[in-house]
Copies of this chain bind each other. A is one copy, B any other.
Amino acid sequence: MTPTPPSYRRDSLRDDLLAAAIVAVLLIPQSIAYALLAGLPPQVGLYASVLPLVAYALVGASSLNAVGPAAVLALMTLQAIAPLAGQVDLSAAAVVLAAEVGLLLAAAAVLKLDALAALLSAPVLQGFSVGAAISIALSQLPALLGSPAHGVHLRALVDSWVESSRAGAWLHPTTAAFGVSSLVVLLVARRHLQPLAARWLSTDLAKLVARAAPLVVIAIATGLAWAFAAPSHGVTVVGPLPTLHLPLALPLFDAELWLLLLPSAALLALVTFVSSFAVAERLGLQRGEHVDGRRELAGLAAANLAAGVSGGMPVGGSFSRSALNAEAGARTRWAGAWTALFLALAALLLAAPLAWLPRTVLAATIVVPVLAAAEWKAFGLAWRYTRGEAALMGLVAAITVLHTAQWALGVGVLISIALMLQHAARPHAALIGRVPGTEHYRNVTRYATELTPGVLSLRVDESLLFVNARQLPGVVAKHLDAYPDTRRVVLQMTPVNRIDLSGLEALSTLQTVLRERGIRLDLSEVKGPVLDGLRAAQWSSWFAGRIYLSHHQAVRDEQGMAP
């Protein structure tokens, strides 16, 4: 879909460069903020914003996906590595986590597992979105108010805050004033700046201006902090970044650490793929661009592996930056590589002023978009639609806030599977009878039909697969209770598209059970590919019934063939 370098034309290059410059300006504070959110030094976020973007540009599927650190991934990274504090260097653990996420995504690409994305059903994703937004906002609250409190989940945070309050430091007024005023400006700008700017500017330009608001707030706050020497008034600033050089190295190989991080890595890989793919697909469809799931897996794998060898942290597609990328007119995946280049240059130039950026302002720039992007309305909608799914959504949100994202997603995925199996487990089999005077057979509960004594006709309404097959004998037995004088059971197989091994076994069990009651099992109207499969399995060695081309023949027992 996207042009490859040889056909990379001059106007594409110009548009990509412009979009890259705009995205890079947003990426600098975001990458630092997300690294701090994950409990890592600020430069880790910058490292995760260079090579991974180039790797995605080389391999990925979407022309618009802006890869790099992201808020939700940072929260999950924090919760995965924080329990290891004191045992390993957290930056080294983040690198291992990124490498592991990359390897899992690569394995999924090779094994064509993009369908696993379905595991994160809408209620799980939306509950998680709300819960993660609350968790992220809560995690920024101490920084915003100037408290030294911190914690991986709510209880730890509250405990820590209570403790620091006892030491007389529940908030720092100057810091809180800085932070809260930034928050208010950002909230007002988010709501009113775009319509205001649209009075004078084109819609597209107004959107860009509105998106620039956080940068203006950051620039002003940094200037004020420098002018008034904020640190000497007790306001925490980002502080000097170390000389930036990509620490190229293989991640620490410690089998125990890798195994310990594996469950978190698997869930991070799932969240990374699902959220990035959703962004890429939605933006792509607007342009008529198909995003290939396996290629997207490969691109994200490359990006995370790149983060894993260059001192980064787990990365994925960011919704806010991808949307900005699209609005700023990016044409090809190479915009991502240019973003990396601009970021590296800007980080060198801006390291000195960034050192003065108050952390409370950075916290405000995280909190506002995260809370705005959460799908708050989803819960009300779900409640009106299906209570069960709404309850699942609420549960996932609650576990995310009260415990950790990993547990919330794990529980959510398990419940989704359980719900699906509960719906799928009973194969539907309708009792059918003859429409009088015809050779048609229809559901006896919906049509006026006549039954043939001694013959029980059932239409199997689904493919016989492991999710439902085991219950087939029980379903047939229930119908037999109503017709105890049955001598033959004929299954009409028209709707059956596939029979897997579990389905084959269910048919065999059904026949055995029926035979012991002196009843013969026959089939009618078996689809060609299904019959071919049954023959390949040499089922004639055990199937003792007959196969009929039409159900009417089966009931009248004409022209049946051996299996």
> Measuring CB to CB, which residues of chain A are less than 8 angstroms from any residue of chain B?
112-119, 121-123, 278, 281-282, 285-286, 288, 290, 381-382, 384-386, 389, 393, 416-418, 420-425, 465-470, 473-474, 477-478, 480-481, 498, 500-502, 504-505, 509, 512-513, 516-517, 533, 536-538
B118, A501: Cβ atoms closer than 8 Å: no
Residues of B within 8 A of A501 (CB): 121-123, 381-382, 385-386, 389, 393
With A115-B421, A122-B502, A470-B117 as known contacts, state yes or no: A513 contacts B477, CB within 8 Å. Answer: no
B385, A533: Cβ atoms closer than 8 Å: yes
B504, A385: Cβ atoms closer than 8 Å: yes
Residues of B within 8 A of A285 (CB): 473-474, 477, 513, 516
Residues of B within 8 A of A474 (CB): 281, 285, 290
B386, A500: Cβ atoms closer than 8 Å: yes
A sample of 14 cross-chain residue pairs with beta-carbon separation below 8 angstroms, ordered by A number, consists of: A113-B418, A113-B422, A114-B425, A115-B421, A115-B424, A118-B424, A121-B500, A282-B509, A285-B474, A290-B474, A290-B478, A386-B500, A389-B500, A416-B466
Instruction: Count copies of this chain in the complex.
Output: 2
Residues of B within 8 A of A288 (CB): 477, 480-481, 517
A537, B384: Cβ atoms closer than 8 Å: yes
Residues of B within 8 A of A119 (CB): 421
Alpha-carbon distance between A536 and B389 when the two chains are bound, in angstroms? 14
- A324 → chain B closest CB, angstroms: 18
Closest to A504 in B: B385
Alpha-carbon distance between A281 and B469 when the two chains are bound, in angstroms? 14
B537, A473: Cβ atoms closer than 8 Å: no
Closest to A417 in B: B417
Closest to A108 in B: B418
A467, B113: Cβ atoms closer than 8 Å: no
B116, A421: Cβ atoms closer than 8 Å: yes
Residues of B within 8 A of A389 (CB): 500-501
A504, B466: Cβ atoms closer than 8 Å: no
Residues of B within 8 A of A393 (CB): 501
User: Among the interface residues A416, A467, A498, A536, which one has the most CB atoms of the partner chain B within 10 A?
Assistant: A467
Alpha-carbon distance between A123 and B467 when the two chains are bound, in angstroms? 13
- A6 → chain B closest CB, angstroms: 25
B467, A385: Cβ atoms closer than 8 Å: no
Alpha-carbon distance between A477 and B284 when the two chains are bound, in angstroms? 11
Residues of B within 8 A of A533 (CB): 385-386
A473, B384: Cβ atoms closer than 8 Å: no
Closest to A509 in B: B282
Residues of B within 8 A of A290 (CB): 474, 477-478
Alpha-carbon distance between A381 and B505 when the two chains are bound, in angstroms? 11
Alpha-carbon distance between A242 and B98 when the two chains are bound, in angstroms? 56
A118, B421: Cβ atoms closer than 8 Å: yes
- A480 → chain B closest CB, angstroms: 8
Instruction: Give the 4 A-B residue pairs with the shortest CB-CB distance, closest first.
Output: A121-B466, A115-B425, A122-B502, A385-B537
User: Among the interface residues A281, A420, A422, which one has the most CB atoms of the partner chain B within 10 A?
Assistant: A420
B418, A118: Cβ atoms closer than 8 Å: no
Residues of B within 8 A of A467 (CB): 118, 420
